[in-house]
Chain A
């Protein structure tokens, strides 16, 4: 573990520290290092193979008719004109599905969700009917021929009114439902927390909304279902981050035999959590192939993706933080109103209705903390935690990092000093938080100091003061986050009863080339490269000689897939363990080759050699050939080197990072320019530093987007006001500064190679840094995301906007 070298905020007069960009290795490294991604040659040449690139013989096309209303009773559906269309092969409604027992499907959160609406529609964009036709034009034309008679009902749009007396009851399909309440859940010690608040010198409170946002991957969701009428085997090509979980869910939902289901995830054009769950369209495609006897493809369009698939966040939080008058943090507590939409479909460990939100004490040594979360139904799309959030840690980090800034502002303290004073110290690890998490490792003060050094913090504050004199608005925002990734330990975490473990299988062919089969699934993270590098590091086989297979359930071992930054912590560990198993087998074979006892052999990267006699050695490729040859092996030893393993993580890993954002604000228009962004990440050991930086770049851009422009509001009728990329803005390179990255490395003590996840770190850590910077610039205590020009201007006038509702 790296040790601490300095504490305290940088001395006045320090100039920024330059950061050099990562150098890419000239040749393929035998193990870790910044090698170019093996998959990129294919992608750059346009040779990716995404779902919509796949055409099966005789394939038909599906399209979904969606509800224009947020809440309405379905009086009748007339499909006769659509059925009469010459190119239409089938029209499926909720009634058809009800006959098959498929009108409703279970969600990942102990609820049910309508596949196609039968009784009511409960959000705008909800699935009402499915047309199967010869081509997608005809399918779309036929949607216009279906007549649905709706009786509109009052909608619940403002989550803060969902529990009001007399609010329309959304889920009257559930027996005995008389309100929109889903759950109450709490964590931490309420009495101890109340106690520190009662004794604290200073308390700061703040109401904040982490608004509804959408993952918006470049590729939308879709599926091709193909039931072979002869063998009875169902093959589903689908945009999934978790192919094995999908297979099991199809088996459980549709009653299909699991060994007759094959899920194939082709290349995935971005997931960010959007492609974890099973959507009604996927189920409709399966029903479509069963009904028609030929493959059916369904691919949603952009508006469907934004309106109906997993959103994220939507947390209304009332947070409080307590400290001594010297700025020692004592306690934090929060009440959350969680808007889960019309069906409770959040994807998270079963026993945790608010996911991992209870890491909200953040990176600070805080004695007492408590949260109380209430989930409610509203007439909006279901979903809940998707989008690079590590199961609600995004909300948790935003809460604590905003509260710390609010406290600093109220008391006139420097936000960097306040953080530095309260960070968990390196010698406190493993550190158990007031909420019961055991943080594995970290050197928080050094990480923050490094960010302050790169930023030239004192210099920036001086520049800000000068600018203020001239009436120019400049802001500096800090956030320090602790992530909790790699879910998760079997005893506490499961999804739909499935333990959150992952498998790996490694075959070494006679010529020493290898195939690694994984249960996780890349959506752009570079698994083909990183995982090959792990094997290379362990076995001395070049990454160029290792094929990484993922996404096909017939070819890969069971496991829960890629989301919540869990691939490297879980599948990465499985890969290490399986490579080490192979090495153990290789050792026995090498001993037979060299005619010595295995105990006399030493592993030198890529070869076993006889202790004390380096000239007597066998390289892994030779061992592989020998393992398949007629070489006589000791009794009881099988040939071949192949191995499999399952990795059950003993704990989560806890990456951290210190982020600093510098903005300029145009006082006349409210426009924000992100001038600089410094990100120092600690994700433990870096397997491919270039890929790590790429993950951080993407997450930072995401954070700028959420903080400044991503707006998914609803008007009072429940119309979705962010249903296209004209309305729901994603950031471009023009809104992003040249990121300034740094790193500290504190390996995870319980992970076999000390690696932690990094996929979501920047998405989790960056929004509060941007928001803190903007509010610092305009001298406002709080305003919710997104800080669009209009919102900044309004906030400056003391009249901030409710960003979850229509602006009127």
Chain B
């Protein structure tokens, strides 16, 4: 059995309290949400925090709702809850697609949306999904709240803009009409991290792409997005040929690294193939014509 090194444990009672504790214990302290990323790393002794600050009692961070024309997802929402959310199904099926292929039921029952984004694993699925949706992260610190676009949230592998004494409180996705979204992932086995995955969101004006978002994970896409492919599609017709071309453009700009999940050429190929597939399905959903 793998066992972690010794650590202290504090249970926060509110967001302000959590921030105060983070300030008090400093950079060697860590928030623990679902613990499904942090605790395995502690057992492997890759992470050795001196203090864990438990945020599982923070009701302020729970719940999925529509607020001010946006879908609001609390940082402590568990994967399982998002997977089952009728609001997500109705507005952003990409989130449900993604949740269905994240880990397994055991992990999904405890792992949280906030923990996923803050872990900032380069193969994380929700980072790509929220990037495609042009979502906004809401972060709170001693001096109050600030909003950061999902595309600026990650600063590198395992790194985010969330400061040492800050906490991610929620994610917001603006609701606009004409939207369709979808997520496509290739994994070696159910519950495996992505070999590559891609999500697409489209906002159609008739047959024209009004706005588009493409999120890619595990393929070395900077900030999980494919801006060149998005620029190509924006304002043009939503056709199969153009989705294929967008896939080609996306594939050109990724920087995958080879590992046991696959060689570089394969991952690059998938970046294109999955972009095209996600766009195709997103468009069908936007048109209400999904097979």
Report A's interface with B, CB cutoff 8 A: 52, 136-137, 140-141, 144, 299, 301-303, 668-671, 708-709, 711, 713, 721-722, 726-727, 729, 731-732, 734-735, 788-790, 793-794, 801, 806-808
Provided the pairs A671-B186, A709-B189, A729-B189 are in contact, do residues A807 and B270 lie with their beta carbons within 8 angstroms? no
Interface string of B187-202 (1 = CB under 8 A from A): 0111111010000000
Report yes or no: B188 in contact with A788, Cβ–Cβ below 8 A: yes
Q: In chain A, what residue has the closest Cβ to B192?
A: A729
Report yes or no: B190 in contact with A735, Cβ–Cβ below 8 A: yes
Report yes or no: A669 in contact with B273, Cβ–Cβ below 8 A: yes
Report yes or no: A790 in contact with B195, Cβ–Cβ below 8 A: yes
Report yes or no: B260 in contact with A713, Cβ–Cβ below 8 A: yes
Q: Does B3 contact A (CB under 8 A)?
A: yes
Q: In chain A, what residue has the closest Cβ to B273?
A: A668
A709→B261 CA distance, assembly (Å)? 10
Least distance between B112 CB and chain A CB atoms (Å): 20
Interface centre among A301, A790, A793, A807, by most B CB within 10 Å?
A790
Interface centre among B192, B267, B274, by most A CB within 10 Å?
B192
Q: Which residues of A contact B277 (CB under 8 A)?
A: 668
Q: Pick the contact of A299 from B1, B44, B262 — CB < 8 Å?
A: B1
A708→B104 CA distance, assembly (Å)? 19
Report yes or no: A790 in contact with B262, Cβ–Cβ below 8 A: yes
Least distance between A411 CB and chain B CB atoms (Å): 32
Report yes or no: B190 in contact with A793, Cβ–Cβ below 8 A: no
Report yes or no: B266 in contact with A793, Cβ–Cβ below 8 A: yes
Q: Does B258 contact A (CB under 8 A)?
A: yes
Size category of the binding interface on chain B: 20 to 34
A136→B2 CA distance, assembly (Å)? 9
Q: In chain B, what residue has the closest Cβ to A671?
A: B186
Report yes or no: B262 in contact with A732, Cβ–Cβ below 8 A: no
Provided the pairs A711-B260, A721-B260, A790-B263 are in contact, do residues A302 and B2 lie with their beta carbons within 8 angstroms? yes
Q: In chain B, what residue has the closest Cβ to A300?
A: B1
Interface string of B163-202 (1 = CB under 8 A from A): 0000000000000000000000010111111010000000
Report yes or no: B3 in contact with A807, Cβ–Cβ below 8 A: no
Q: Which residues of A contact B241 (CB under 8 A)?
A: none
Report yes or no: A794 in contact with B3, Cβ–Cβ below 8 A: no
Least distance between A780 CB and chain B CB atoms (Å): 16
A721→B259 CA distance, assembly (Å)? 9
12 A-B pairs in the complex with CB atoms less than 8 angstroms apart = A137-B3, A141-B6, A299-B1, A668-B273, A727-B260, A732-B190, A734-B190, A789-B186, A789-B266, A794-B266, A801-B263, A808-B258
Report yes or no: B1 in contact with A808, Cβ–Cβ below 8 A: no
Report yes or no: B260 in contact with A722, Cβ–Cβ below 8 A: yes
Provided the pairs A52-B1, A140-B3, A141-B5 are in contact, do residues A807 and B189 lie with their beta carbons within 8 angstroms? no
Report yes or no: B262 in contact with A788, Cβ–Cβ below 8 A: yes
Q: Does B255 contact A (CB under 8 A)?
A: no
Report yes or no: A808 in contact with B188, Cβ–Cβ below 8 A: no
Q: Which residues of B contact A727 (CB under 8 A)?
A: 260
Report yes or no: A732 in contact with B191, Cβ–Cβ below 8 A: yes
Taking chain B's interface residues, is the majority helix, strand, or loop, or is none over half, making it mixed?
A: loop
Least distance between B266 CB and chain A CB atoms (Å): 5
Q: Which residues of A contact B192 (CB under 8 A)?
A: 726, 729
Q: Does B269 contact A (CB under 8 A)?
A: yes
Q: In chain B, what residue has the closest Cβ to A789?
A: B186
Q: Pick the contact of A793 from B5, B6, B104, B269 — CB < 8 Å?
A: B269
Report yes or no: A669 in contact with B260, Cβ–Cβ below 8 A: no
Q: Pick the contact of A794 from B1, B2, B263 — CB < 8 Å?
A: B263
Report yes or no: A789 in contact with B1, Cβ–Cβ below 8 A: no
A137→B277 CA distance, assembly (Å)? 49
A722→B104 CA distance, assembly (Å)? 20
A669→B274 CA distance, assembly (Å)? 9
Least distance between A305 CB and chain B CB atoms (Å): 11
Q: Which residues of A contact B188 (CB under 8 A)?
A: 708-709, 729, 788-789
A303→B3 CA distance, assembly (Å)? 13
Provided the pairs A668-B273, A729-B192 are in contact, do residues A790 and B1 lie with their beta carbons within 8 angstroms? no
Known: A141-B5, A732-B104, A790-B262. 7 other contacts (CB 8 A): A137-B5, A141-B6, A144-B45, A668-B277, A671-B186, A794-B266, A807-B262
Q: Pick the contact of A732 from B186, B189, B269 — CB < 8 Å?
A: B189
Q: Which residues of B contact A729 (CB under 8 A)?
A: 188-189, 192
Q: Which residues of A contact B3 (CB under 8 A)?
A: 136-137, 140
Which 6 pairs show the lowest CB-CB distances between chains A and B? A790-B262, A734-B190, A790-B266, A301-B2, A729-B189, A668-B273
Q: In chain A, what residue has the closest Cβ to B193?
A: A726
Which residues 194-235 in B have Cβ within 8 Å of A in the complex? 195
Interface centre among A140, A302, A708, A727, by most B CB within 10 Å?
A140
Report yes or no: A807 in contact with B190, Cβ–Cβ below 8 A: no
Q: Which residues of A contact B6 (CB under 8 A)?
A: 137, 141
A726→B121 CA distance, assembly (Å)? 14
Report yes or no: B5 in contact with A790, Cβ–Cβ below 8 A: no
A801→B258 CA distance, assembly (Å)? 12
Provided the pairs A734-B190, A735-B189 are in contact, do residues A789 and B263 lie with their beta carbons within 8 angstroms? no
Interface centre among B44, B258, B260, B262, by most A CB within 10 Å?
B260
Q: In chain A, what residue has the closest Cβ to B263?
A: A807
Least distance between B127 CB and chain A CB atoms (Å): 18
Which residues 105-156 in B have Cβ within 8 Å of A in the complex? none
Q: In chain B, what residue has the closest Cβ to A669?
A: B186
Q: In chain B, what residue has the closest Cβ to A299?
A: B1
Q: Which residues of B contact A670 (CB under 8 A)?
A: 266
Least distance between B182 CB and chain A CB atoms (Å): 15
Interface string of B266-284 (1 = CB under 8 A from A): 1101100110010000000
Q: Which residues of A contact B189 (CB under 8 A)?
A: 708-709, 729, 731-732, 734-735
Least distance between A299 CB and chain B CB atoms (Å): 6
Q: Which residues of A contact B267 (CB under 8 A)?
A: 790
Interface string of B1-12 (1 = CB under 8 A from A): 111011000000
Report yes or no: B270 in contact with A301, Cβ–Cβ below 8 A: no
A671→B192 CA distance, assembly (Å)? 13
Report yes or no: A790 in contact with B261, Cβ–Cβ below 8 A: yes
Least distance between B108 CB and chain A CB atoms (Å): 14
Least distance between A664 CB and chain B CB atoms (Å): 15
Report yes or no: A136 in contact with B1, Cβ–Cβ below 8 A: yes
A141→B5 CA distance, assembly (Å)? 7
Q: Pick the contact of B263 from A301, A711, A808 — CB < 8 Å?
A: A808
Q: Which residues of B contact A302 (CB under 8 A)?
A: 2
Q: In chain A, what residue has the closest Cβ to B270?
A: A669
Least distance between B6 CB and chain A CB atoms (Å): 7
Q: Which residues of B contact A788 (CB under 8 A)?
A: 188, 261-262
Q: Which residues of B contact A709 (CB under 8 A)?
A: 188-189
Q: In chain A, what residue has the closest Cβ to B186?
A: A669
A732→B104 CA distance, assembly (Å)? 11
Least distance between B154 CB and chain A CB atoms (Å): 21
A563→B232 CA distance, assembly (Å)? 62
Which residues 1-60 in B have Cβ within 8 Å of A in the complex? 1-3, 5-6, 44-45
Least distance between A72 CB and chain B CB atoms (Å): 21
A807→B188 CA distance, assembly (Å)? 15
Least distance between A458 CB and chain B CB atoms (Å): 31
A140→B270 CA distance, assembly (Å)? 42
A137→B43 CA distance, assembly (Å)? 10
A19→B2 CA distance, assembly (Å)? 44
A711→B191 CA distance, assembly (Å)? 16
Q: Which residues of B contact A137 (CB under 8 A)?
A: 3, 5-6
Q: Which residues of A contact B44 (CB under 8 A)?
A: 303
Q: Which residues of A contact B259 (CB under 8 A)?
A: 807
Least distance between B282 CB and chain A CB atoms (Å): 17
Q: In chain A, what residue has the closest Cβ to B276?
A: A668
Which residues 43-97 in B have Cβ within 8 Å of A in the complex? 44-45
A671→B261 CA distance, assembly (Å)? 12
Interface centre among B3, B191, B266, by most A CB within 10 Å?
B266
A144→B191 CA distance, assembly (Å)? 32
Interface centre among B45, B188, B261, by most A CB within 10 Å?
B188
A807→B257 CA distance, assembly (Å)? 10
Interface centre among B44, B267, B273, by most A CB within 10 Å?
B273
